């Protein structure tokens, strides 16, 4: 397949390019577009054929449902077939457009391939001018998972998308680095109490402030429980190297990682350390990458996928990653790192 790769300036959108991309969407083709979370691989959410092309391009298991992206609340009412609840209204007012995906009971208008046969549909309004213009110009809700080959770290830079999907999609709209850098929070509103199925760009604390009561799906906290969100059960975000997370007080974490790294290096293996600005200078004779300062978890979050992909390019055999507190954005950061590491985690005592 010939892939048209186009560079966009989000501050001064090229109408011609957006119209061209919208035509592809209307003709059941696939277009990768920037969002504030990660790049998305989009197609007409109302067409079985278009949705099947998404699954094929990514190599995504067909039992993992897609998030439908909208530009206007009328599209949401069409997808769910009933007026919005008070809770949904409050959340939408506060967090849309933004990195919060809401799950509702679906109407008959949503093809079952989008929802992987579930009777619920996941919807969000992205906070990115190119994404919103593309949805508006096509006049259709756009189903869009992250624009990576299934299992790989999600793409936060255009080069990640090009390397994974060139030749597999019709068009790639390239822009800057994704501002948030982790996917949306998925919140299930289909039951009586809202449940977080995937932590992401909107934190538990922010949701609790608006909703009062909000739960976190048990499957997210306990590696032995099956998660309620189908996508959360798959190996995900995995770098090529084996990855181990080390958790504990920061000094003991540094000492443990340096000792483990030295032992692997003595076996002739190439070692990567996923550190922070405060700790990066400590490590010797290893490939160190910093996620940013521990004082700013938003920055740490925005760099996780990029640094995991950098280790693939360097070609390390094993990655040791420092853990973060599971509060605020730290919950989503640790969720992605644990999945990238296949839940391989060591806890060190001070
Ligand atoms: P991605 O498209 O890669 O950002 O992944 C979308 C996430 O949303 C996956 O974890 C899906 O399993 C989840 N998801 C989408 N639709 C639903 C739904 N109807 N019920 C539960 N989880 C969903
Ligand atoms: Mg994904």
pLDDT mean by block of 10 residues, the chain; 350 residues: 95 93 98 98 98 96 94 97 96 98 96 96 98 98 97 96 98 98 98 96 97 92 69 74 96 97 96 98 96 98 97 97 97 95 91
Entry pTM: 0.95
**The predicted structure's pLDDT at residue 113:** 95
Query: Could you tell me if 68 and 121 are in contact, meaning their C-beta atoms sit under 8 angstroms apart?
Result: yes
Residue of 91, 80, 86 whose CA lies nearest to 119:
80
For the CA of 118, the nearest atom of ligand 1: 19
List the structure tokens of 296: 């700013």
CA 29 to chain centre: 22
Q: How far does the centroid of ligand 2 lie from the alpha carbon of residue 228, in Å?
A: 16
Q: Can you tell me the distance from the alpha carbon of 17 to that of 33, in angstroms, rounded to the nearest whole number?
A: 12
Go through the domains of the chain in sequence order and give each one's CATH number: 4-230 (3.90.870.10), 242-347 (3.40.50.11030)
- Residue 345 DSSP SS3: strand
- Residue 189 DSSP SS3: coil
**The predicted structure's pLDDT at residue 11:** 87
For ligand 1, atom 10, the nearest C-alpha belongs to 231
For ligand 1, atom 21, the nearest C-alpha belongs to 229
Q: How far does the centroid of ligand 2 lie from the alpha carbon of residue 150, in Å?
A: 7
Residue of 187, 233, 213, 183 whose CA lies nearest to 37:
183
For the CA of 230, the nearest atom of ligand 1: 12
DSSP state letters, 329-340: THHHHHHHHHHH
**The predicted structure's pLDDT at residue 196:** 98
For the CA of 146, the nearest atom of ligand 1: 3
Instruction: Give every strand in the sheet of 4-7, ordered side by side.
Output: 4-7, 171-174, 31-33, 40-44, 142-143, 67-69, 120-124, 100-105, 185-188, 195-198, 215-216
Helix axes 86-95, 204-211, angle to 10 degrees: 130
Cis ω before 295 (30° cut-off from 0): no
User: Ligand 2 being an ion, which residues bring their Cβ within 5 A of it?
Assistant: 146
**The predicted structure's pLDDT at residue 234:** 63
Q: How far does the centroid of ligand 2 lie from the alpha carbon of residue 146, in Å?
A: 4
């Amino acid at each position: 397949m010939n892939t048209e790769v186009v560079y966009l300036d989000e501050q001064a959108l090229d109408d011609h390019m957006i119209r061209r991309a919208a035509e592809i969407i209307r003709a059941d083709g696939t277009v990768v577009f920037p969002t504030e979370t990660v790049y998305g691989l989009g197609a007409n959410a109302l067409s079985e054929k278009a949705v099947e092309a998404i699954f094929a391009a990514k190599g995504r298991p067909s039992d993992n449902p897609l998030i439908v992206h909208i530009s206007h609340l009328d599209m949401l009412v069409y997808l769910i077939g009933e007026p919005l609840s008070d809770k949904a209204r409050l959340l939408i007012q506060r967090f849309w457009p933004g990195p919060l995906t809401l799950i509702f009971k679906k109407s008959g208008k949503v093809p079952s391939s989008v929802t992987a046969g579930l009777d619920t549909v996941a919807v969000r309004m992205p906070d990115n001018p190119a994404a919103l213009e593309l949805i508006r110009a096509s006049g259709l809700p756009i189903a869009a998972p992250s624009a990576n080959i299934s299992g790989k770290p999600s793409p936060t830079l255009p080069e990640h998308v090009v390397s994974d999907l060139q030749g597999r999609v019709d068009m790639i709209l390239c822009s800057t680095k994704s501002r948030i850098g982790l996917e949306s929070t998925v919140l299930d509103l289909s039951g009586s109490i809202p449940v977080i199925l995937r932590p992401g760009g909107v934190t538990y604390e922010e949701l609790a402030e608006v909703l009062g009561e909000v739960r976190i799906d048990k499957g997210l906290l306990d590696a032995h429980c099956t998660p309620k969100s189908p996508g959360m059960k798959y190996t995900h975000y995995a770098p090529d190297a084996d990855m181990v997370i080390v958790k504990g007080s920061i000094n003991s974490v540094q000492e443990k990682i340096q000792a483990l790294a030295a032992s692997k290096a003595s076996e002739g293996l190439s070692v990567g350390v996923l550190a922070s600005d405060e700790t990066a200078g400590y490590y010797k004779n290893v490939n160190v990458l910093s996620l940013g300062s521990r004082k700013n978890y938003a920055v740490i979050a925005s760099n996780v996928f990029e640094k995991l992909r950098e280790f693939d390019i360097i070609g390390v055999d094993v990655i040791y990653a420092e853990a973060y507190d599971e509060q605020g954005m730290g919950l989503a950061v640790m969720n992605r790192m644990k999945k990238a590491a296949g839940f391989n985690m060591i806890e060190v005592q001070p």
